[in-house]
Amino acid sequence: MKVLVAMSGGVDSSVAAGLLIEQGHEVVGATLKLWGGASDSGCCSVADVDDARRVAQILGIDHHVFNYTEEFERSVVTPFVEGHAGATSPNPCIECNRHIKFDLLFQRAERLGFDAVATGHHAQVLEREGHHYLVRGEDNQKDQSYVLGYLQEPILRRLLLPIGAMNKDEVRQHAERLQLRTWDKPDSQDVCFIEASKGRSIFLGQRISLTPATIVDQVTGEELGETAAAELMTVGQRRGVLPGRDGEKRYVARVDLQARRVEVGRLKDVLSTKLKLDVNSLSFARDALANQTRVLAQWSAHGRPMEATLSFDTTWSLELDAPARPVAPGQTVVFYREDEPSIVEGAAIVTS
């Protein structure tokens, strides 16, 4: 089979390419140039491209660089900036997977005559009775099924995830065995287009006007402090939020940019049992789920799945079985099967 491997320059995609070669596939590597600005983190730096190219040389395969900087700016960076300007918190990694890696790259692979596309994600594709399902990776600490939650069956049929059944130690052992230069390379942790040395505040401050705001206790109305940038305050956030005068921790409950006001509350005051969903973002892996379907809902990469009911009244929402910290508007929630909690059923963006 002729396979195009998306090589980020990290150990996971390097091993994915090596394993496919050993399995007898005709493999070609491709690295995506996505961010045209400065980068000292993530997976878009010049060093990452060079690592991918050198791994391809070691493996003896062709390597190409595909330039999607304009598409990345339009589909990932701009929505990220606009989201913060509107007091929402988009997930850029999910949008990159959704619009670039598993859309534009797949289209290009098909035009070039490839039978399949492979990546180094820690997730698996399960084939059952002629259908394909995305399932969690074997390594729970590295599972990336959440960030792939928008993948649908037409993509899954042409997707190979060679390391999904391995834990991270096994991946590094394979990389060392194959003598790949990336065998001990640290995992990328940050948003690739935001320099770790500067941070989100500087990045956003160069693109939008940041709004100073008063931090107010939502129950008592007491003013607890000020923030120089309300756009950097995320619903559900505790880090960086000062305790109230009673000494209890406070969590962000609401960001009102127009009123220049950030409301915070004690945990018991901000807990929620309902997530409203953006119907235009709602996506199902195969068949649409019915009203009142029981699911497990997860809204962060390594968050604990929560039992919930996907329901429709005047709009789609998730009714949680137990109260949870509020979820920031703009975040993605992924649905897993209640009876088979490793299988992904779909995803949507939270509105409130």
Instruction: Tell me which amino acid residue 158 is.
Output: R
pLDDT tens across 268-285, in order?
A: 999 999 999 999 999 999
Cα within 13 Å of Cα(320), Cβ side: 19
Note whether 101 and 30 are within 8 A (CB).
no
C-alpha R_g of the chain: 21
Helices (H), the chain: 11-22, 46-59, 69-72, 78-85, 92-96, 105-111, 153-156, 168-177, 200-205, 267-270
The single-letter DSSP state of residue 244 is -
Q: Are 336 and 304 in contact (CB under 8 A)?
A: no
Per-residue confidence (pLDDT) for residue 292, from 0 to 100:
96
* Active site (catalytic) residues: 96, 192
Domain 272-349 fold: Elongation Factor Tu (Ef-tu); domain 3 (2.40.30)
pLDDT value of residue 49: 85
Q: Rounded to the nearest 5 degrees, what angle is found at the Cα of 331, between the Cα atoms of 46 and 304?
A: 100
pLDDT value of residue 70: 95
Q: Are 275 and 298 in contact (CB under 8 A)?
A: no
CATH class of 2-120+162-177: alpha beta
Sorted by where each begins, the domain ranges of the chain are 2-120+162-177, 209-270, 272-349
- pLDDT of 352 above 90: no
User: Is this prediction's pTM over 0.85?
Assistant: yes
86 vs 16, 81, 244, CA distance in Å? 39, 9, 26
For residue 314, what pLDDT is reported? 83
Checking if the pLDDT of 6 tops 90, the result is yes
pLDDT tens digits, one per residue of 44-54: 667 788 899 99
What integer pLDDT is reported at residue 39 of this predicted model?
Answer: 63
Rounded Cα–Cα distance for residues 231 and 83 (Å): 9
Please write the tens of the pLDDT for every residue from 326-341.
999 999 999 999 999 9
Q: How confident is the model at residue 5 (pLDDT cuts 50, 70, 90)?
A: very high
The fold adopted by the segment(s) 209-270 is: SH3 type barrels. (2.30.30)
List, for residues 138-174, the tens digit of each pLDDT value.
999 999 999 999 999 999 999 999 999 999 999 999 9
